[in-house]
Structure 1
Amino acid sequence: MRLMDLFSLKGKTAIVTGGGRGLGAQIAEGFAEAGANVVICSRNGPACEEMSDKLKQMGVESLALSCDVTNPEEVKCVVETTKQQFGRIDILVNNSGASWAAPTEDMPLEAWEKVMNVNVTGTFLMSQEVGKVMIEQKGGKIINIASIAGFGGTDPFMQTIGYNTSKGAVITMTKDLAVKWGKHQIYVNAIAPGFFPTKMSKVLIEHGQQTIMDGTPLGRLGSNTDLKGPALFLASSASDYVTGDVLTVDGGATAF
């Protein structure tokens, strides 16, 4: 296989949760540019429709589906619809996420539960349901969106203990699924982004921008293209001897 062919997704089908905006939209666009058909799903139906229409204009097939990843029935519906439409599922990106900022001593239980349900349980439910399809078809790629906040304690300005804890759980889940499903030729990896300007991170970045810049060797935030390459690598044949890994995309922040 020629080098650039290793990165082609032509004829592949991907599901991207939370793909209507932010990091998910960036990844979905990158997959479409590489030739994949992309299913966009999230609770924000209009955003999914808008993104799906954009991908269709790039010459690939795309579906927009409404889905709460914490609802098992809605998750099953997305998987069944995708399989019915495209015949198989080659790639899953678990990108849907939630956060809540509050000092640990003031964190409401309902806020903690919401973050854990979306970030951990949602990732598990989508992986479980898509995993069944991938086991049957004997192969697939799962990419979980973690965070550098999941590596350990964070700077005091980042009062998001639920989010940080959930991303640590996603990292552990990634490694465990890679071990359990390797025999089925299912690759499970994670991407740990640093600070990217998204709707969810906007207030946090505004609050701690100087600290973030001082702690990022490249001296900038992530751009609207910086995740395309890493995600494409993990979704394509270029990473066919990589599983159970966490690819850090943070401008060097964790290099200190």
Structure 2
Amino acid sequence: MGSEEQPAWRAFSSGFADRVAVVTGAAGGIGLAAATALHAYGARVVLLDANAPLLERSAAALPGAVAMPVDITDSARVAAAFDAIAERYGPVEHLVHAAAVITALPLLEQDVEHWRRVLDVNLVGSFTVVRAALAQMVPRRGGTIVAVASDAGFRGGGGLIADAAYAASKAGVLSLVKSVAREFAGTGVRINALVPGPTDTPLHQGVSDELKQRIAAGLPVGRMGHPDDMAAAILFLSSPAAPFVYGTALDVDGGSMLR
């Protein structure tokens, strides 16, 4: 580190000011928490989600934030959305990809259409969004991407709140992150995965309070995660405070992986 350079950690609080940050799955849960955190640090936040009414309400709580309803399984619309963002607000410098669907169906109750839907949103959607971001970041030789995966991607599904299709899709997201990091590390674009453990988000709307308590009791920390727990880790991975972090899978799971 040269005499004129500052330690990376000093850049954390100022690393997002006036930068264009796109967040998918931003109508609620981890996506909205990440968008709120980035907005608080001065980023120009664009919120993407397929749920247009909820997205508009979420964006309205963040002055200056922009809501863009987008189905991430539609690659043409994703590309068009990123082009429109670059034209109106400037090139995308940060991407937080949190959009996902989840179910907890036993394997024998799943059919091919269930698998296709889960993998189309969670894995194919990840490809379309990451590719669109890379198209703007690589020529500019810089940018950060954080893809939200899941501890189910490591340990498998078939549990209380995740099934095999969801687990397989998130394992694919983890592999995608590793592959992109390996291919593009030399371009200055950093991509990493956030790996939440059981987290109380709108994805788990059908989960009873009793079941949530059982899940929390099974974690070393004694509680489920909160979207704000994940947003703090996303800020770190996206910030100049993590300049040497490439292709990692950061567990933010209350000790879930210790079991």
When the two structures are superposed, what TM-score results if normalisation uses the length of structure 2? 0.92
Distance 1:105 1:224, change over 3 A: closer
Given that residues 15 and 92 in structure 1 are in contact (C-alpha distance below 8 angstroms), is that contact kept between their aligned partners in structure 2?
yes
Given that residues 21 and 92 in structure 2 are in contact (C-alpha distance below 8 angstroms), is that contact kept between their aligned partners in structure 1?
yes
Q: Alpha-carbon deviations, 1:206-242, whole Å to 9, x = none?
A: 4743542232111011124212210100111011100
Q: Distance in 2 between matches of 1:129 and 1:13?
A: 14
Q: Tell whether 2:41 aligns with 1:18.
A: no
Distance 1:97 1:205, change over 3 A: farther
Look up the match of 1:69.
72
Look up the match of 1:49.
56
Q: Distance in 1 between matches of 2:97 and 2:224?
A: 22
Given that residues 197 and 205 in structure 1 are in contact (C-alpha distance below 8 angstroms), is that contact kept between their aligned partners in structure 2?
no
Percent of residue pairs identical: 29
Q: Distance in 1 between matches of 2:60 and 2:210?
A: 35
Q: Distance in 2 between matches of 1:209 and 1:154?
A: 17
When the two structures are superposed, what TM-score results if normalisation uses the length of structure 1? 0.93
Q: Distance in 2 between matches of 1:21 and 1:51?
A: 7
Q: Distance in 2 between matches of 1:109 and 1:85?
A: 40
Given that residues 157 and 165 in structure 2 are in contact (C-alpha distance below 8 angstroms), is that contact kept between their aligned partners in structure 1?
no
Q: Distance in 1 between matches of 2:54 and 2:160?
A: 31
Distance 1:173 1:205, change over 3 A: farther
Classify the secondary structure of the residue corresponding to 1:221. Answer: coil
Question: Which of residues 67, 92, 97 in structure 2 aligns to 1:94?
Answer: 97
Q: Distance in 2 between matches of 1:128 and 1:155?
A: 30
Given that residues 104 and 159 in structure 1 are in contact (C-alpha distance below 8 angstroms), is that contact kept between their aligned partners in structure 2?
no
Gapped regions of structure 2 (runs ≥ 5):
1-5
Q: Tell whether 2:175 aligns with 1:186.
A: no
Aligned residues: 252
Classify the secondary structure of the residue corresponding to 1:243. Answer: coil
Structural mapping, 1:61-140, within 5 Å = 61-140=64-143
Q: Could you tell me how far 1:27 is from its partner in structure 2?
A: 0.6
Structural mapping, 1:145-156, within 5 Å = 145-154=148-157, 156=159
Look up the match of 1:246.
249
Root-mean-square deviation over aligned CA pairs: 1.7
Q: Distance in 1 between matches of 2:13 and 2:157?
A: 34
